[in-house]
């Protein structure tokens, strides 16, 4: 095109995409990026590296860069400090505090509860393996719960860490059975933890609560009232579970879940299980968000 007064006119010359030139530029950019990575990773003299990159063939090791000299800071770690750090990273178990009050305003969302949760319908104090933000187990749990991670049974290391949480738990009365939450995103994960804890504690695993109407509507946002409303009436103690639970009337049970966030899911399930005759519901979640 050529600009003329009032607009443009065609020159009649065909336009050609200069593929060779653009490929050459792209290759040069990739080579530059690679040489930055090489500079970062080289174990040789960095000054010599830069000089050679600029075609200086007189380049020799400088004797002053970090690679030419030894670390200027102490690089040995005292055994006691290293083992204290390892023990701290391997620490398992955080408290999962039960909710004591229904959220204000939830009645206006069609959930007819208010004020304190009756003591007979509350969860007991629970445990989680770790917070998602923790060092140590938090890292493995962040991977486990990352959106792109497919559901899978927990690793042997993770289930044995869960067993350690159970062993350290100073509950008032030892639970008599294990139950699990129905999980749509992590059924294999929850099942593997429930099975491991049931085997380690020699407690029967009675199965899982049922999802009602497809379960929670999936929205996890909003304030407490909205979050409770989203899980209210979405779980049930089905006839099969009720039957296997009957011999455990008046006994405490352990309730396994994958990830506790607002804790309303566990609170609602705990209420159902208390109403089904258990004397206490001890929640155990793999991870705690917050």
45 binds Zn ion (CB under 5 A): yes
Q: How far is the CB of 64 from Zn ion (least distance, A)?
A: 6
59 binds Zn ion (CB under 5 A): no
Closest CB to Zn ion among residues 5, 43? 43
236 binds Zn ion (CB under 5 A): no
Closest CB to Zn ion among residues 44, 222? 44
DSSP secondary structure of the chain = -EEETTEEE---PPP---HHHHHHHHHHHHHHHHHHHHHHH-SS-HHHHHHHHTT-TT----S-STTTS--SS-----HHHHHHHHHHHT---EEEPPP-BPPTTGGGGT----SBPPGGGSPPPEEEEEETT-STHHHHHHHHTSTTSPP-PPPHHHHHHHHHHHHH---SS--SEEEE---SS-HHHHHHHHHHHHHHTT--EEEEPEESTTSS-S---S-HHHHHHHHTTSEE--HHHHHHHGGGTTSEEEEEEEEESSSHHHHHHHHHHHHTT-SEEEEEEEEE--
Candidates 1-9, 62-70, 169-177, 178-186 — which segment interacts with Zn ion by CB under 5 A? 62-70
Candidates 20-28, 39-47, 210-218, 254-262 — which segment interacts with Zn ion by CB under 5 A? 39-47
Question: Contacts with Zn ion: how many residues (CB under 5 A)?
Answer: 5
Taking CB under 5 A as the criterion, the residue among 50, 51, 52, 65 binding Zn ion is 65
Closest CB to Zn ion among residues 7, 63? 63
Binding residues (CB under 5 A) for Zn ion: these are 45, 47, 62, 65, 68
């Amino acid at each position: 095109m050529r600009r003329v007064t009032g607009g443009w006119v065609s020159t009649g010359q065909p336009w050609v995409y200069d593929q060779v030139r653009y490929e050459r530029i792209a290759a040069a950019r990739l080579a530059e990026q690679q040489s930055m990575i090489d500079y970062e990773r080289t174990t040789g003299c960095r000054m010599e590296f830069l000089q050679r990159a600029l075609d200086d063939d007189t380049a020799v090791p400088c004797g002053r860069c970090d690679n030419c000299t030894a670390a200027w800071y102490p690089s040995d770690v005292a055994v006691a400090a290293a083992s204290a750090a390892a023990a701290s990273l391997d620490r398992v178990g955080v408290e999962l505090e039960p909710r004591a009050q229904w959220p204000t305003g939830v009645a206006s969302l069609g959930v007819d509860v208010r004020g304190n949760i009756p003591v007979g319908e509350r969860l007991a104090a629970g445990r989680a393996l770790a917070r998602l933000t923790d060092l140590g187990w938090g890292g493995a749990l962040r991977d486990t719960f990352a959106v792109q991670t497919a559901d899978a049974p927990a690793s042997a290391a993770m289930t044995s860490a869960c067993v350690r949480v159970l062993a350290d738990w100073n509950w008032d009365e030892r639970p008599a059975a294990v139950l699990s939450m129905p999980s749509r995103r992590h059924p294999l994960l929850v099942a593997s933890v429930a099975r491991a804890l049931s085997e380690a504690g020699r407690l029967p695993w009675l199965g899982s609560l049922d999802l009602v109407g497809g379960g929670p509507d999936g929205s996890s946002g909003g304030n407490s009232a909205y979050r409770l409303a989203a899980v209210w009436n979405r779980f049930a103690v089905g006839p099969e579970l009720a039957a296997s639970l009957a011999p455990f009337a008046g006994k405490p049970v352990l309730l396994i879940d994958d990830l506790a966030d607002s804790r309303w899911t566990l609170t609602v399930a705990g209420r159902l299980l208390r109403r089904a005759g258990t004397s206490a519901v001890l929640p155990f979640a793999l991870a705690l968000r917050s």
